[in-house]
Structure 1
Amino acid sequence: MPGLISGLELVEAMISSGEKAVADFFHISGGEWFDEAPEYFLSTYVARSAGNHANTFALLEVPVDITRREAGASRRGRAASHERRNGRFDVVLYWANGNPRAAVEIKSPIWSATGQQIHPDIDRLCSALLANSDSTFQFGAFFFYASVGKPKRKHDNATQRMRDLLARIEEKAIERAAVRGAEAILIPGSVHRGKEDEDGAWSIASLVITRAGGKRSFLTK
């Protein structure tokens, strides 16, 4: 399909748009950290980024059950509690023909790599993606803003603490996705410091969920 953007390029563009959301919020709020922004603020920038590309569209707050049916990812029987069939995906990306391409869950802010913050969304994305290998879903994305505050010790480095947090989040996601029979890949953005390193650091990143064996093909533009 002419002009089709790859999954990796799409996620990278979403990350760039997320970083713009942080910059815009800083401007309109008079210098507040993005930790103070409502999660929906980030969702709108993610959807706008996807919709800016040819042959890709996006909608916000789409019912999970409808999305899965449209993608051919419904299953008979009682739904597991983690599937949240009566809930909504934060953002859904679509192919040019109108079929769902990816479900996106957004979390902002994240301050620690706890299972409570990470596992529910990973479980929901895995369930949708793995329900049917012939569904139109290409991948799922757990998109997030993470930050670390001012180091408690004088010689601590906020930038390194941010990288360490991203590594722990990635480890948690890989373990959880593997339990569900899927793979998780961290697509990181840059690590940004406050005005001074001791003020803390933040980053926009995405955990991409693929079917088992799909990691290599996703990373190939």
Structure 2
Amino acid sequence: MITQNELIDAIQSGIIDSHETYLKWSYDEWLWNAPEYLMTVKIAQKIDEIDKNKFITLEDNVEKILDIANAKGRGKLPTKIRSNGRFDIVVWWANGHPRAIIEVKNSVYKFANIEEDIIRICKTLNRKSADSKIQYGFIAFYICNAYKNNAKEKLFNKINKIYEQAKKLILEENLNIEKYIPENYPYSQDDMNSYSSVVLLIKR
């Protein structure tokens, strides 16, 4: 069984690989210029490289996933689940049930950029939670910014501000959140431009 930490490492690796790949393809353009699906595919590839039983789907229908996960129940689904939409990545148990949801975001500059996806994951995890096979959700995002100086420190502070806003919302939903940033990140080569991958883990 894939561990939670293995999933986090794969997600982080996928985002960093996306940045480095786009640098190469575009002759030094940063990832914020790239389409978001590059990150989605790279993250899925890194998860696939974990040599354990699982399978992965992309852009899977929300209502279908809830149904298969025993989380749909009767009655109308909450509007903020956006049941006609799609989850960016779904990681499945080997027995055919959805296990984890991953929502991917490029160019995150403020909490509002990820707020709707956080709410969707919270509503999903709280839907028939006693029966649901879905264990947790991830917000996986790329963030970068330019500053006059102290770029690494200032971007780190921005990430923490976003995290604290997310934490407040998630605690109101009676769920838990953890923040993960790779070692030695945010990265800055010139003290004026900095970027990082960030993973927010949301769980019961």
Residue 178 of structure 2 aligns with which residue? 185
- 1:62 alignment partner, one of 60, 63, 70: 60
Residue 113 of structure 2 aligns with which residue? 117
1:99 and 1:168 map into 2 onto residues whose CA distance is: 35
- 2:151 alignment partner, one of 138, 158, 174: 158
Runs ≥4 residues deviating over 6 A: none
Residue 88 of structure 2 aligns with which residue? 90
Residue 13 of structure 2 corresponds to residue 5 of structure 1: no
Question: 2:137·2:203 contact (CA, 8 Å) conserved in 1?
Answer: yes
Residue 176 of structure 1 aligns with which residue? 169
Residue 15 of structure 1 aligns with which residue? 12
2:155 and 2:116 map into 1 onto residues whose CA distance is: 23
Unpaired runs of 5+ residues, structure 2, are: none
Residue 129 of structure 1 aligns with which residue? 125
What amino acid is the match of 2:89?
Answer: V
1:123 and 1:75 map into 2 onto residues whose CA distance is: 19
What amino acid is the match of 1:57?
Answer: F
Deviation track 1:113-152 (CA, whole Å, cap 9, x = no partner) reads x3x2122111100111111223111110011001111x14
1:181 and 1:141 map into 2 onto residues whose CA distance is: 16
1:128 and 1:174 map into 2 onto residues whose CA distance is: 17
What amino acid is the match of 1:159?
Answer: K
1:39 and 1:192 map into 2 onto residues whose CA distance is: 20
Residue 24 of structure 2 corresponds to residue 27 of structure 1: yes
Deviation track 1:46-75 (CA, whole Å, cap 9, x = no partner) reads 111112221122111000000111111113
Deviation track 1:148-175 (CA, whole Å, cap 9, x = no partner) reads 11x14xxx30000111011111111111
Residue 133 of structure 2 corresponds to residue 140 of structure 1: no
Unpaired runs of 5+ residues, structure 1, are: 212-221
What amino acid is the match of 1:172?
Answer: Q
1:20 and 1:118 map into 2 onto residues whose CA distance is: 21
Question: 2:58·2:90 contact (CA, 8 Å) conserved in 1?
Answer: yes
1:147 and 1:138 map into 2 onto residues whose CA distance is: 30
Question: 2:136·2:203 contact (CA, 8 Å) conserved in 1?
Answer: yes
Q: How many residues align?
A: 200
Report the aligned-residue RMSD. Answer: 1.2
Distance verdict in 2 for CA 1:181–1:75, change over 3 Å: farther
Deviation at 1:33, TM superposition (A): 0.8
Deviation track 1:66-107 (CA, whole Å, cap 9, x = no partner) reads 011111111322222211000000010111112101011111
Normalising by structure 1, what TM-score? 0.86
1:137 and 1:79 map into 2 onto residues whose CA distance is: 16
Secondary structure class of the residue paired with 1:78 = coil
